[in-house]
Amino acid sequence: MDILIKIAQLFLAFTLLVGIHEFGHFIMARIFGIRVEKFYIFFDPWFSLFKFKRGGTEYGIGWLPLGGYVKIAGMIDESMDKEQMKRPVSPDEFRAKPAWQRFLVMIAGVVMNVLLAVAIYCGVSWAWGESYFSNDDARWGYDFSEAGHDLGFRDGDRFLTIDGERVDNINEIINALVVTEGDRTVTVARDGGTATLRLPLERLIAMRQRQEYKDLFVLRMPFLIDSITAPGAAALRPGDEVTAIDDCRGAGFAQYAEYLAAHAGDTVTVAVVRDGEQLTGIRIPVSDEGRIGVVRRNPYELRTRDYTFAEAIPAGFRRAGTMLSSYWEQLKLIVQPKTKMYEEVGGFIAIGSIFPSHWDWQDFWLKCAFLSIILAVMNILPIPGLDGGHAIFTFWEMVTGRKVSDRILEGAQYVGLAIILLLLVYANGNDLYRFFIR
């Protein structure tokens, strides 16, 4: 059932994003009086799942979920319909229009995907606000995994800066560490002072490839007492913070719990901080279950910033801009061999895996916005066959006043389709390798 929910979310998101993208080309073509012969979500080689014709345009849903397309009259596109180019030019064809109009038609799909992401972020900000755990609240620092210890972190460290920049949103700390083209310098608060760690790129790459960043650190949970449940703990008070149990000091709640479990049935000496004052020598019996008769309190609260409708609009633009900038930086790192991020490029399995195994509308819309940004960035790349490839030829015509020949456009389209096919094979091959072999 879990996999079906993931597939349903992926299919719904992909249908929405492709439909919006192709609608951008469609509506801009119609604005300039250009005839659109087909409007398809997904590709339809040999047959389609559903289709109908209205106003001279065939609308349909294909069976191959690798994208979508609009077939614009008088344009060399993925349909490779060269026969139409041999006929006399009609006034309602793409090739009959001035270069600036053709350029706008080409980039309209990308613009629609960016606008969709902005609209989603505006809506999510208005409906749910913006929630995050703040690094400022991590007074007790973090507990690190073995991979974190290998990088030089110690349990209890608290992040201060990364490459001199302060980070507040805890979720952004991981992104700051793994999306990099060089070493990182991290300053942490440690034992009442500070420590500076230099994280080599090679080790960050290894951590990223093994996906060890997923559990690199967690908020350290202090042993704060919320209430007393056993007479043996009567010397303690709600609000006390346990700072030591026997010789076990400066630990988090998990470590103290392990110590108590190992001393079940014994009596331990507890030290606490109460109203800013250190109290020591408190003798507490440990039950046979390894407990001292108190209920722990969680001091961490999810911060949420709520937005009015008017405030949600600039917040949506800001979040979309941040995501667009972040993904562009990641894309630049992919083409740099030293970062080895090209090894992490994924296909449909990787995309589907970002969706949770349960339905959460807030999470779904955030994933849609993220994928819409990706679709926009990928399509604007100057690769023949993509919108960016078409746009670059048209832009050349606008600058020089010379139109690129149909023969060159046809050749570029074949090259672009080959590049796209190779990228699809590579990305989905990476998925299969990670799923079945790694």
DSSP assignment of 401-422 equals S-PPPHHHHHHHHHHHHHHHHH
pLDDT at 8: 87
Model pLDDT for residues 21-54, shown as the tens digit of each residue: 999 999 999 999 999 998 988 888 888 888 989 8
Domains and CATH numbers, the chain: 2-128+352-436 (no CATH), 130-221+298-304 (2.30.42.10), 223-296 (2.30.42.10)
> In angstroms, what CA-CA distances link 225 with 237, 250, 428?
7, 16, 51
Lowest mean pLDDT among 117-121, 229-233, 341-345: 341-345
pLDDT value at residue 338: 67
Structure confidence at residue 411 as a pLDDT band (50, 70, 90): confident
Question: Phi first, then psi: what are they for 240, rounded to 5°?
Answer: -65, 145
**Is the confidence at residue 86, as pLDDT, over 80?**
no
The pLDDT value recorded for residue 364 is: 92
Beta-strand pair 241-245/294-297 = unpaired
Backbone dihedral region of 78: left (phi > 0), alpha (psi from -120 to 50 degrees) or beta? alpha
Residues 6+ away with beta carbon under 8 Å from 19: 41, 68
SS (H, E, C) 261-299: HHCCCCEEEEEEEECCEEEEEEEEECCCCCCCCEEEECC
C-alpha distances (whole Å) from 354 to each of 3, 4, 13, 358, 438 are 12, 14, 12, 12, 19
CB atoms within 10 A of CB 437: 6
More confident residue, 19 or 75: 19
pLDDT of residue 250 exceeding 90, the answer is no
CA dihedral 182, 188, 194, 196 (to 10 degrees): -20
Residue 7: band (very low, low, confident or very high) from pLDDT cuts 50, 70, 90: confident
Query: For residue range 182-214, what is the model confidence (pLDDT) as tens digits?
Result: 889 999 999 889 999 999 988 888 888 777 888
Calculate helix-pair angle for 361-380, 2-31, nearest 10 degrees. Answer: 50
Q: What percentage of the chain carries pLDDT values higher than 70?
A: 91
404 vs 292, more confident? 292
What is the predicted pLDDT for the residue at 305? 87
**What are the pLDDT digits (tens) for 317-343?**
999 998 898 888 777 777 676 666 666
Name the range with the highest mean pLDDT among 5-9, 102-106, 176-180. 102-106
The arithmetic mean of pLDDT across residues 87-102, rounded, is 86
Q: How confident is the model at residue 430 (pLDDT cuts 50, 70, 90)?
A: low
Nearest of 242, 278, 253, 226 to residue 156 by alpha carbon: 253
**Measured between alpha carbons, how far is 344 from 427 in angstroms, rounded to an integer?**
8
Interval 69-77 mean pLDDT: 81
3-state secondary structure 114-133: HHHHHHHHHHHHHHHCEEEC
The one-letter code for the residue type at 427 is A
- Averaged pLDDT for residues 280-303: 90
Categorize the per-residue pLDDT at 83 as very low, low, confident or very high, splitting at 50, 70 and 90. Answer: low
pLDDT in tens, 46-64: 888 889 898 889 998 888 8
> Distance from CA of residue 334 to its chain's centroid?
15
Q: What is the mean pLDDT of residues 79-106?
A: 80
